[in-house]
Amino acid sequence: MNHDLVAARAAEDIIELLSLCQQLQSEKDGRERPAPGTYSRDEDDFADRIRSACGHALQLRRLLPVATTLSAIGAEMERRGEISVLPGEDYAQKAMARLTEQYLSGRDNKQ
């Protein structure tokens, strides 16, 4: 499975649904709002929230494959005995904590 394609499709779906939500709300309000990717000085709070949510969806496109890869790294680290993951815990979070400890301990920018 290509996680980049899955993430891209998920982001597109979210943006499409948010755009539809904005369109329906605009029709209900009798007000025109800019498309989510378009800047406008006339943007109201609702349009601003939609635009912001669409930006977060675009970030998900990049972050979902990273999280999937980090989870696989965590599973391998557990197999090697480098970390311990209990039922209900997240491989990606455990791997990130271990890598942060290993490579960034003693720095001011700890996670």
| The pLDDT of residue 73 | 97
| The pLDDT of residue 108 | 60
Residue type, 15: I
| The pLDDT of residue 39 | 76
| The pLDDT of residue 111 | 45
pLDDT in tens for each of the 111 residues of the chain? 677 788 889 889 999 999 999 999 999 999 988 888 777 787 789 988 999 999 999 998 889 889 999 999 999 999 999 999 999 999 999 999 999 999 998 766 544
Residue 22: burial class (beta carbons within 10 Å; 0-12, 13-18, 19+) = buried
Q: How far is CA 65 from the centre of its chain?
A: 10
For the stretch 47-64, what's the b/e string if a residue is b when 16 or more beta carbons lie within 10 angstroms of its beta carbon? beebbebbeebeeebeeb
